[in-house]
Amino acid sequence: MDRGRIVRHLEDARIETRLVFGGNIVRQPGFLNIEKRVHGDLSASDIIMRDTFFIGVYPGLTAEMLDYVLEVFRGFFRGAVR
């Protein structure tokens, strides 16, 4: 799955997205020269940093709005299978 493709699809449908800042925090430029202790290769953290994102949500979303979000996701995955 290409995160960029699904994020573009959602944004084109006016569903806001945000990339995950965290993930492998030791790869962020601001942390490169900070003393740290690292356990393992952090490969799972790399996956989170590279492949995940958030969609915008808030308590005022209606059932109709949520149905729209689900339909946009379904539309993406239907098209991605072809």
Determine the Cα–Cα distance for residues 76 and 15; give it in Å rounded to an integer: 13
Q: Quick one: average pLDDT of 39-61?
A: 90
- pLDDT for 45 equals 86
- pLDDT for 81 equals 54
- pLDDT for 67 equals 97
CB-CB contact of 12 with 50 (8 Å): no
Whether residue 21 is predicted with pLDDT greater than 90 in this model: the reply is no
Whether residue 70 is predicted with pLDDT greater than 60 in this model: the reply is yes
The angle at the Cα of 1, spanning 20 to 14, to the nearest 5 degrees, equals 60
Distances in Å between the Cα of 22 and the Cα atoms of 45, 54, 66, 82 are: 8, 12, 26, 33
Residues in the chain: 82
Overall pTM > 0.85 = no
